[in-house]
Amino acid sequence: MEPVNVGLLGLGTVGGGTFNVLSRNADEIARRAGRGIRITHAAAREYDPASVPGIESIRVTDDAFRVVDDPDVEIVVELIGGYSPARELVLQAIANGKHVVTANKALIALHGNEIFAAAQEKGVTVAFEAAVAGGIPIIKAMREGLAANRIQWVAGIINGTGNFILTEMRDKGRDFDEVLAEAQALGYAEADPTFDVEGIDAAHKLTILASIAFGIPLQFDRTYTEGISRIEAQDVEYAGALGYRIKHLGIARKSEAGIEMRVHPTLIPERRLIANVDGVMNAVLVLGDAVGPTLYYGAGAGAEPTASAVVADVVDVVRALTSDPENRVPHLAFQPGELSDLTVLPMEQVETAYYLRMQVHDEPGVMARIAGILGDAGISIEAIQQKEPAAGCTELPLVLLTHRVLEGRMDQAIERIEALPSVVGSVLRIRMEPLDG
């Protein structure tokens, strides 16, 4: 049987890794796929030929549309990233009847509904395992391995940059800005780190996970997003003293009221396995009603870990080339006509416990006034830590842990607390999740 021709869009870190993995493991991959798979075309405006040995043997152009429109190409692998021209290229490939593999989480999160509808109409597949958690096969695990389950919630460390920063802050007592600068120097964070540290990258990935978990359309605009830039070394220290670790989590949960989709710093009990995932590693914890909690751990980024997922998708597409399009694994786990229009809850309707830190004047009655405000809002206090003021200082940090309460109530309570003359500046809140089975 003739090999399948692949067109590769992008020869950067992941594109180069994909070319190298597919070339190095060609025989093993062919044994698994049942046919040879060869990259015959590539598109890149700039690339380092030394990093992709053998690239001179294929056709390389700076016009990605030439690859997409070439009749010899059967599968298009999109590794350019971003929203445009990635969207136009993918839609053109689908219109040309080509299967698509992509690692582009932003593209799927924002335009996936349109892309999957077009693919369904043309009878082609769009595979996107590498879009979430790099080399961890979390999409395949949820979509296929857990198909018998009602997924109850998903919680993941799905951005390695943020996890590296929080790990360094905990292990070495370093400040956020210092660790961020190191992450940029090491290549973990971009020159503009906004997508990583403010949670946008994780929100793209969580949007995809929530859709697969609960059978809802992709809805990135309804995902609550909060970053880690306000976390200070003292918060990491206080959390540790209380038996918790701070992680930047993406959480999707289904309740009777609707679907929660939220990315934010979170206190997790230190005994949980996911609380001990450190550095740039990723992990996703999934709770299914039949299987219970399952944890998926591994490299969330990098040339060859991500290429591992990209090539696995290419193998799946090749295996399915001759199958009936109506009987392929659905893009979002549920059959296209079976997606549910469940309500995605606004953040004020989400219930969780809280860590609160505030700076207060060292004077009598402060704690009583704060406790009174929380009590009026129906918020119970689980623990209090009041630190001694430094010599000659009239202010001290006060840390509280609360029981679960609706976010809207906590918003109102924090507004009243911040208005107290004895409270200096704003209150820092970090949500808490037990993540038990």
Catalytic residue numbers? 205
- 352 annotated to bind ligand: no
**135 annotated to a ligand binding site:** no
Bridge partners (DSSP) of residue 299 are 281
Pairing state between β 351-361 and 381-386: unpaired
Spatial neighbors of 436 by CB under 8 A, at least 6 apart, are: 293
Residues for the chain: how many in total?
437
H helices of 44-85, in order, are: 64-69
Residue 338 assigned ligand-binding role: no
The CA distances from residue 273 to 140, 152, 179, 188, 203, in Å, are: 22, 19, 24, 23, 22
Do the annotations mark residue 11 as ligand-binding? yes
387 Cβ contact partners less than 8 Å away, ≥ 6 residues apart: 396, 397, 398, 399
Flag whether 10 is marked binding. yes
- Residue 17 is labelled as binding a ligand: no
Residue 9 marked in a binding site: yes
Q: Which two tokens stand for residue 16?
A: 């180069």
190 annotated ligand-binding residue: yes
Cα(268)–Cα(354) distance, rounded to whole angstroms?
Answer: 11
For tokens 């392929």, what's the residue? 328
Apex 288 CA angle, 283 and 294, nearest 5:
30
How do 99-102 and 126-127 pair as beta strands? parallel
User: Which residues are annotated as part of the binding site for L-homoserine?
Assistant: 190
Known binding-site residues for NADP(+) equal 9-16
- Give the annotated binding-site residues for NADPH: 105
Which segments are annotated as binding site?
9-16, 105, 190
